[in-house]
Amino acid sequence: MLKFWKKKPAEPAATPEAPPPDERVEQAPAPLAFDSGPATAEALAETVAPEPAAPELEPEAEEAAIAAEAQAQAAQPAKRSWRERLSGSGFAKSLSSLFVRNPRLDDDLLDELETALITADVGVEASTRLVEDLRKRMHKREFADANALLKALREQLVTLLKPVEKPLDVSTHAPFVILTVGINGVGKTTTIGKLARRFSDEGRGVMLAAGDTFRAAAVEQLKTWGDRNNVPVVSQGQDADAASVIFDALQAARSRGTKVLIADTAGRLHTQGGLMDELGKIGRVMKKLDAGAPHEVLMVIDGTTGQNAISQLRQFRDTAGVTGLVVTKLDGTAKGGVMFALAREFGLPIRYVGLGETATDLRVFEAEAFVDGLLPASLGG
């Protein structure tokens, strides 16, 4: 009899032990994303690592892994300077090679410079004005050699971009709502993922709203970025009403004390009237909860589109009230001059630029660093 009663408790204990871990593992990511208490984390830790002897060996392995990761991260910034990212672009190559091919200070050099600027989509008017100003100064003998002219060109380009060098400040409201807009294929969803990573690294609570319900797999793509950055994503699936999704996300962000809400929208051509009108609807719906929302309408522009970006921005500005820009794919384009055209035409703040594929390659825009990446400080430099 005693043997029978001893074995009896062991059998029910073994049966429930298998299902709960599965349930806990499935439910764990959601509470952790919303800053769960230590009790949940403890329960998850017990489920994942049931062996008591393992922790004795873990500290050394953990220290080695952390050290290796820290070493890799520390090495990254040195490999990703602005100059190294931009020097391979067609724009940088054409300007740099121009001075190498024609180091003499004469009108031929200036003519070639004007052609290079126009080809890189700086714009005819802006290019002509830049070059004519340099030509006048050259004829007044203000430049001793081509190096002096190169220095003057760098200064002019920085002066053109400096007024739009205005970093985004998300600390002015809580939640700070960023509505992202742009045409298809500019890297909008990827930019949102990189922004989420940036704000999370700064210690800010972030939430994403999957408002691109028009494109197939867009919601899943945003969820992937959310999982990768441990950021919650509010969604309703494909073909749902985008304004409704973003409204729900704003309600959730307000109730949870989230600091930054980034809302995705469907990529659309500036000629698609129905989709463009939807942006206006999204803005009106958000204002029912927060009269100031969205606090930033961030338009993502593909740096390879050149002068087409001008007409795109004009339409989005009029429809959605664009307040800031992100210019992507600048590391491999011959059309990087569009930055100067955008600055001169609209004067809208350029918040970030994309210089590569990784999350850390989304940089806060710096005028001097950008020009330094396009032009050497001196010939042979």
Task: Tell me the C-alpha distance between 204 and 139, whole Å.
Answer: 55
Rounded to the nearest 5 degrees, what angle is found at the Cα of 190, between the Cα atoms of 260 and 244? Answer: 55
DSSP type of residue 185: T
pLDDT > 50? residue 345: yes
Which residues are CB-contacts of 111 (< 8 A; sequence separation ≥ 6)? none
The SS3 of residue 315 is helix
At 207, give phi and psi (nearest 5°).
-135, 145
- Cα angle 279-34-70, degrees, rounded to a multiple of 5: 100
Number of C-beta neighbours around residue 200 at 10 A: 16
pLDDT digits over 179-204, tens only?
Answer: 999 988 888 999 999 999 999 999 99
Quick: pLDDT tens for 236-278: 977 889 999 999 999 999 999 999 999 999 887 655 666 678 8
The yes-or-no verdict on residue 335 having pLDDT over 90 is: no
Q: Specify the pLDDT at position 87.
A: 66
CA 20 to centroid of chain Cα atoms? 39
Looking at the chain, list the stretches that DSSP marks H as alpha helix, in order from N- to C-terminal side: 2-17, 19-27, 29-33, 38-48, 58-79, 82-86, 90-101, 107-119, 124-139, 146-161, 188-201, 218-229, 242-256, 273-286, 308-320, 338-346, 367-374
Mean pLDDT of the chain: 78
16-20, 48-52, 361-365: which has the minimum mean pLDDT? 48-52
Q: Which residues contact 330 (CB under 8 A, 6 or more apart)?
A: 85, 86, 89, 303, 336, 339, 353, 354, 355
Report pLDDT digits (tens) over 36-78.
Answer: 444 434 433 433 333 333 333 344 444 454 444 444 444 444 4
